[in-house]
Structure 1
């Protein structure tokens, strides 16, 4: 496994790989990342992973400086998994002096996370565009937990005619149903137990759809009632939307996604489930 910190080095090493898969990460890897990497290896053979905590997607009051990092641990995981190349740039490599370009993907980036975190998805779209241009993979793999990010990246790739297939892997959870996230490291043991209500609330909405409920407002109320019943939680938003453009729905006629953002203590967590009428 080669670990390369510069764009020039990763481009040169990439020449020896045939149609690789690519898994971009911000490090502090967990089983969710590793499930994407295993799938990429199965489908593509050679896999490139990036580890880069991207400063442009963090707001001024967010946790860039304290975002969890453990490069040595991450590289051990990737070596064991059989990754071919690891790209580990620093911010100056990705954003040299004079860098001024930003990407705006339009309406899909505006609601939900986009409304709560202005500029976040411009930072995401810009860095993903740069990484895809640098690595030039056949397929790039992202996790469903960040469902709006997936929609933003699909829009980016379609609009810019980028020759890469975007693959979304299902959310990986612990035994209590909590979606795996690097930010779970911030949670105390008590907060981890409280956070399991996120998935239970989403599952309750899914059950209502399976029983015939189609009113999105009713489904959001089901989720909200369960969340407000748990002490120590603060709800940022609850959404029932079209999974492609994140447009809020009044009624579910086809596939939909229920998503939420909730603060557990000081830690902000995301989760979602697909809702499919029978």
Structure 2
């Protein structure tokens, strides 16, 4: 019995040593395989930019009881920088296919550009919604959804979306947008190169700034505006800033050292 007990104890210790060894090897394997996503920024050149071809889609909804019948002035894109030689006007159809659809939240401006190159120019697209008989131009806010899709694999999508309701910088009091001063939605677009996804190239849209236009937060002010023919519209400008000077490169790096 004594020998049997000693033999059993020997096997028990050996099993524990084997278990601890296997566990340590597994733990090291898990740690060694852990990786973090590294972002690196570098300057671009013409061949870099030419490789960024995405399907771009812009959806801007004016939250209101209006319809596309109120729409005016959509059809021109302005590119370049005001006051400089590159500042020019062009038909919007040269930039994207465009349309207006009626939704339950209000009229939605849709811009679609298939296999769109990454431009070096800024772009400005403006439109207005105007008063119609018994249907004034007034809005509670704006909803946006911008996407960039890899045309080779539609599963790879980069997007930004949200809702802009309050034009006040001081409180959350609801406002009604209406009047001559334009509402400017500024978006930045910049290229991202995913080395960890077979060198996937996606253009990343981001909301940069919302500059609210004419709006009213008092019923008396709104009533006066509704009775004024000079206030009978909502001006909106979509400002697209293509940040094409730099590329963000993304790769996985092993936490134990530099990645392959």
> Normalising by the residue count of structure 1, what TM-score does the alignment of the two structures yield?
0.26
Pick the structure with greater CA Rg.
Answer: 2
Larger RCO (alpha carbons 8 Å, 6+ apart): 2
| Greater strand fraction, Structure 1 or Structure 2 | 2
> Normalising by the residue count of structure 2, what TM-score does the alignment of the two structures yield?
0.27
| Greater helix fraction, Structure 1 or Structure 2 | 1
